[in-house]
Amino acid sequence: MASNAERYGRIAPLYDMLELPFEYARYRRIRPLLFQGLSGRILDAGVGTGRNFAFYPASAVVVGIDISAAMLARAQRKRQKATAEIELQQMDVTRLDFPDTSFDAAVATFLFCVLPDEQQVPALCELGRIVKPSGVIRLLDYVRPRGTFRRVITKLWEPWIAWAYGASFDRRTEEQLPEAGLELVDSRFVVPDLVKLISARPAADGSRGQGSAVPVEGSIQR
């Protein structure tokens, strides 16, 4: 089975074109919600081709990381157009090369739905580790719909999105927050019965997550 680094190396030249209809119909409206009230140093994990750039708070310093050099190369080309200060680095979200508590916030859009099940807790642990105790973690992600119509549509899309993006509608990200030492602050649908905005923070008791032993997917150059 392909790793995410391989998958996104393959899909990178087509990514923006394939996403365009969804970007206009759906994502443009919901991406700003992720950044409301955020400032300071922000991590954008799984930054991809930089589709969040336009929505970064102008005064923020954003570090975008991604496992795919091909996706980052496309983000690099868009960097000049953004108003925020942006730094891009190739990195695996399950092994972040940043000191503890070095960010005010961490965000990820459509990252956790593409992370294999065994990488969910390690990735959440890493986001919890690098944000300050008062820090915020916000995730925008697909979930499996309950309604029949949307459920059928997701079943039809499933083989394609699994092959092309490594994505699944059945990740357990939200329920795995406590295992990663995080507390749920808010969880709400921003596209009815399909896309959730999840807000979390490091647990108040200071407990750190247990899931840091990570099976590595592909090799990473830093």
- Footprint of ligand SAM on this chain (CB under 6 A)? 4, 8, 46-48, 51-52, 65-68, 71, 92-94, 109-111, 114-115, 165
Q: Rounded to an integer, what distance in angstroms lies between the CA atom of residue 30 and that of residue 109? A: 10
Mutual angle of helices 69-78 and 4-22, in 10-degree steps: 40
Q: Rounded to an integer, what distance in angstroms lies between the CA atom of residue 195 and that of residue 144? A: 9
Residue with Cβ nearer ligand SAM (144 or 183):
144
Residue with Cβ nearer ligand SAM (68 or 168):
68
| Minimum CB distance to ligand SAM, residue 214 (Å) | 9
| Minimum CB distance to ligand SAM, residue 32 (Å) | 13
Instruction: Show Cβ contacts of residue 72 under 8 Å, excluding neighbours closer than 6 positions.
Output: 47, 64, 66, 88, 89, 90
| Minimum CB distance to ligand SAM, residue 163 (Å) | 13
Q: Where are the alpha helices (DSSP H) in the chain?
A: 4-22, 28-35, 69-78, 117-130, 148-165
| Minimum CB distance to ligand SAM, residue 156 (Å) | 19
Cβ atoms of residues 190 and 30 within 8 Å: yes
Residue with Cβ nearer ligand SAM (20 or 133):
20
Q: Rounded to an integer, what distance in angstroms lies between the CA atom of residue 41 and that of residue 61? A: 5
Residue with Cβ nearer ligand SAM (13 or 147):
13
| Minimum CB distance to ligand SAM, residue 45 (Å) | 6
End-to-end Cα separation, the chain, in angstroms: 24
| Minimum CB distance to ligand SAM, residue 167 (Å) | 7
Residue nearest to ligand SAM (CB): 48
Residue with Cβ nearer ligand SAM (92 or 104):
92
Closest listed residue to residue 18, CA positions, set 138, 185, 157, 181: 157
Residue with Cβ nearer ligand SAM (71 or 203):
71
